[in-house]
Each structure stands twice: as structure tokens, then as C-alpha cells.
Amino acid sequence: MDKLASMNVFTKVAKAGSFAAAAKELNISRAMATKHVMQLENSLGIRLLNRTTRQLSLTEVGNVYFERCLQILDDIEENELAVTHMQTEPRGTLKVASPPFFGTYHLAPAISEYLRQYPDVNVELLLQGGTVDVIEAGLDLAIHLGQLAESSLIARKLATSRQVVCGAPDYFVGHGVPKTPNDLKVHNCLFNWSWPQKDHWQFRDPEGKKIIIRVGGNLQANVSGALRLAAINGLGLVMLPTYMAGHDLRKGRLKAVMTEYEPATLDINAVYPHRKNLSAKVRTFVDFLYDRFQPRPYWDDWMDAHNPQSDVTEEHLYGED
């Protein structure tokens, strides 16, 4: 029996968690699917799957073998695509995942331009919060914001997003302007309870010293987009990444304060499965995004529009379009 065919059957069974589901996908009998996996186990002298009456699961060594099988099968597929010129000519369906706000306001416009350059590519865009399992979801790549967890995925840094504390001009008229992080204790601060820091905002002072301030306010949310709108409407102060707040800062709907006290930056990465030969559609798309966001992302243009320190003074509170 062809070992590569058996490896393919094994990976399908492992992904589906079922011999029957894998057999249906491959258009073979359940018995044949079982035979393929048993032959692999016999040839290796190891058990790849734990079998119960209710479910299948990978053994520890089976999980390692599964990852290697995926790598081998991907390499074979990539080599076959190269023969048909798909490695040099981007074509086919590109499946991409992104956090909702970044995907809507930054990735979608980029995709439109990319597709004009590569009309033989189709894009399926998944907007989803939280961490996405690229392999399990069958994605070509995903956009990841913030710190990366250890994994076998390849990551390419596309850009960095600053974070700023900001509020609407009307809010500062009624409540004053905080000058230091300690001043935030008397302000209505809106925070994202799904973020690791939640109501503990962290800064670095001009000398590089770490400062942590516990903030409080009358609105919490699990998505920062809602807090952004509340801040624009004058409810309070919010800490936002500039990829989210940059346009509002440039237009004057929001004003950044305490910019000499810097929160941590957010790295924006493209992550994709490790492949020896990266497909042309993934390679060109990642290159396209990198060129679009470098050397400094456009969402930080607000820093050039006014005083780079973005101090909020009375003359800045009025007359913005």
C-alpha cells in the first residue's frame, strides 16, 4: 500500500477525529481508511491513535508524526504546484483571517488593491476575534496582533502599532487634561476587560521606568471598537492602538495625552504554516502588506499633522473638522 496515500489518510482521520468522516472526504470505505492507518502503525511499530468507542485522539508520538506528515504532504503539494507554474503565478483561493477592526479598516482596502494586481487570486476573508488556529481552520495565513505564543507557525512582522491614551476634545473641556499616569486615577477611563492588562494600564516614563496604574470608569467592553466610539462621544479616556485611533486623532475627534509616557507597542504579524516552498499567493500577499505598512504605518500620520507631542490645549479643542 502506498505510504504517502496512507499518510494522507492518517492526517484526514486525525483532523476529522473519525475514520468514517475521513473516508467520506476521501471517497473510500471506512475499512480502507482503517487499513491505511493500521499499516502505518505496523510499519512504524507505534500507536498513532488512541481509539475508544466514542472518539479518536492522537497519541503523543502520533501528534509529532501528524505534524511531520502535514509538512511532507504540503511539500509534495507545493512541488506539484510549481510544475504547473502556480508557484510563480499567484492564483487560486487565498484564505485569510484577521481581527475584525484591523480586517475591516486596513486589510480589506489592501485586499482590493492586491486583487487588482493579481486578478487570478480569490480571497476568502474571515473576521474573527481571539486567536485563530491557522491549520485547523484551513487558512493560508492570519493577521495576529500583539505577542505571539510559541508555535510551529512562521511569523513575519508587518508593522508596529503604538498605543495612546486619548479622549474627545469635549471631555477635556469638562474634566481637564491628565499630565501624568497618576492623574488617570481621577478620570473616567474606559477599558477592554478581555485584554490581559484590563484595568491596569502600563507605561514607560521618559527615563524608561515602568509605571502601572489601576484605572476605573463606568464602561467596560470586550472589544476596543466600542470603547473608541464611547470616547469619541465624550464619555471618557481610552487606551487604543493607533491602527484603531489614528484617523480619529488626525481628524481631531480624539486627542492623545501624556505621549511622553508610552504604553507598550503592538506588533502586527502575518502568521502562516511552515512550508518549505511558500505558495506564490501567500508570498506575494505578505510582501504586498509589508510594503504597504512600511517603513512607518500610515495610521501614525496624525503625529505629523499637529504638534508631535499632541498636547491638548484650549486652542486645540475647537475648530477641528
**Is residue 285 predicted with pLDDT exceeding 70?**
yes
What confidence tens digit (pLDDT) does each residue in 102-142 have? 999 999 999 999 999 999 999 999 998 877 888 888 899 99
For residues 47 and 28, state if they share a domain: yes
Q: Which residue has the higher pLDDT, 150 or 69?
A: 69
Cα separation, 57 vs 17, whole angstroms: 7
Q: How much is the mean pLDDT over the chain?
A: 88
Domain containing residue 144: 92-159+267-297
For residues 272 and 254, state if they share a domain: no
**How many domains are contained in the chain?**
3
Which bin fits 290, alpha (ψ -120 to 50), beta or left (φ > 0)?
Answer: alpha
Section 67-91 average pLDDT? 79
In the prediction, which pLDDT does 82 show?
65
For residues 226 and 308, state if they share a domain: yes
For residues 255 and 287, state if they share a domain: no
For residues 292 and 247, state if they share a domain: no
For residues 178 and 311, state if they share a domain: yes
- pLDDT band, residue 1 (cuts 50/70/90): low
What confidence tens digit (pLDDT) does each residue in 257-275 have? 999 999 999 999 999 987 6
Position 321 in a domain: no
What confidence tens digit (pLDDT) does each residue in 9-66 have? 999 999 988 999 999 999 999 999 999 999 999 999 999 999 887 788 899 999 999 9
In the prediction, which pLDDT does 273 show?
87
Q: Which residue has the higher pLDDT, 312 or 121?
A: 121
Q: Which residue has the higher pLDDT, 151 or 90?
A: 90
Contact 143/269 with Cβ under 8 angstroms? yes
Cα separation, 249 vs 316, whole angstroms: 12
In the prediction, which pLDDT does 31 show?
93
**Crossing angle of helices 224-232 and 242-251, rounded to 10°:** 20
Contact 267/243 with Cβ under 8 angstroms? no
Pick the most confident of 61-70, 150-159, 233-242, 273-282: 233-242
Strands 220-221 and 189-192: parallel
Section 73-99 average pLDDT? 81
What CATH code is carried by the domain that includes residue 60?
1.10.10.10
For residues 221 and 312, state if they share a domain: yes
**Crossing angle of helices 3-16 and 19-26, rounded to 10°:** 120
In the prediction, which pLDDT does 85 show?
58
| Share of residues in the chain with pLDDT > 70 (%) | 91
What confidence tens digit (pLDDT) does each residue in 188-223 have? 999 998 887 889 999 999 999 999 999 999 999 998
Position 216 in a domain: yes
Q: Please tell me whether the overall predicted TM-score, pTM, comes out greater than 0.85 for this model.
A: no
Q: Decide which of 34, 64, 83 is a domain's last residue.
A: 83
